[in-house]
Amino acid sequence: MKGICELYRFETELKESHIFPKFVVNYHKKTGSKYFRKPTESNKRLQDAIKIPLLSERAEQEFAVGEKWFAENIFYPFHKGKKELTYSKELYYFTISFLWRTLVLNQRAEDLKQKWYFPKLVEAELEWRNFLTKGIFPKTFNNNFLYFTHYVGENTTGIDRVYSYLLRTFDSTIVCSQNDESIVLVYAKFNQFMFWSILKDKSGSFPPMDCAISPIGGTFHIPQNLDYQTLNSFLRKRIQGINKLINPSDKQQEKILAEILKNPREWLESDTGKAVFKYGQK
């Protein structure tokens, strides 16, 4: 369909763009269920993750280069067990390209313009777009982070399905404070990779620096420290909120079981099976 490319702002034939990288979607389907389910629509099976008419061919190709770098240098090495991951400036580009898509997707919510933090999102979107298209380093919204989620032992939070969320769930949203105007984060995760960018945090909570992404490169040492109250508080509420949503109907649960029974051993050894049984529902 014809439309305006969100990145380069010219009229063109728009592609059905993935918000979450295509290679991640393929890996997710390969290592667990072949379908996706929205938490808010648990009875609907989807063949693919979120796609919307968003980008031109030019923008898609540029993002694909960053995604290829991330897949080869971070994503697959981590899944193969590597605990020291050295990265270059390409990770900074990939992170902003991913969080920018998350921001643009959330900006399309009808009521977002009424939120107190909307002007902050507009400013961040422009800075990030200038970085992605012109290479102008963001001067204000440049605090980006990556945490590698992994199994760290028995869950002691008292919250159900913590590992199911940390290890498998796709999620993206704007994190903000409810009682004041102190916090705004852009947050997105897939599988075992949790990204966020701090647009504003006046809460006195400090992010763990071993999760910080340097624009010139560096090395991640896993496991990392995630002693960041702003994010921890959000995650607790987020997982509890998802748990309260309606579970699939009996009919849909029968379909899920039938899918598992096609090859139960393969499913038990998949990332999904481990998240449910080896790591437990809690």
Measured distance CA(101)–CA(107) in Å, rounded = 10
113: pLDDT strictly greater than 50: yes
Contacts of 258 (CB under 8 A, 6+ apart): none
Region of poorest pLDDT, from 31-35, 48-52, 55-59, 138-142:
31-35
- The predicted model gives 122-135 an average pLDDT of 98
Mean pLDDT taken over the chain: 83
Please give the DSSP secondary-structure letter assigned to residue 148.
E
Report the pLDDT averaged over residues 12-40. 79
Assess whether pLDDT exceeds 80 at residue 48. Answer: no
CB atoms within 10 A of CB 34: 11
165, two tokens: 């969320």
The answer to whether 248 and 256 have CB atoms below 8 angstroms apart is yes
Range of the domain at 204: 2-278
Residues 179/203, Cβ–Cβ less than 8 Å: no
Burial class (CB in 10 A: 0-12, 13-18, 19+), 266: exposed
Q: Please determine, for residue 81, whether its predicted confidence score (pLDDT) is greater than 50.
A: yes
pLDDT digits (tens, 9 = 90+) for 133-149: 999 999 999 999 999 99
pLDDT at 250 over 70: no
| Of 144, 119, 239, residue with least CA distance to 198 | 144
What is residue 276's predicted lDDT score, i.e. its pLDDT? 38
Q: 177-232 pLDDT, tens per residue? A: 988 999 999 999 999 999 999 999 999 998 889 999 999 999 999 999 888 999 99
| C-alpha span between 178 and 60 (Å, rounded) | 35
Number of domains in the chain: 1
d(CA 198, CA 230): 10
Q: In this predicted model, which residue has the larger pLDDT, 46 or 74?
A: 74
pTM, two decimals, is: 0.83
Rounded CA-CA distance 196/96 in Å is 10
Residue 275 has what pLDDT? 42
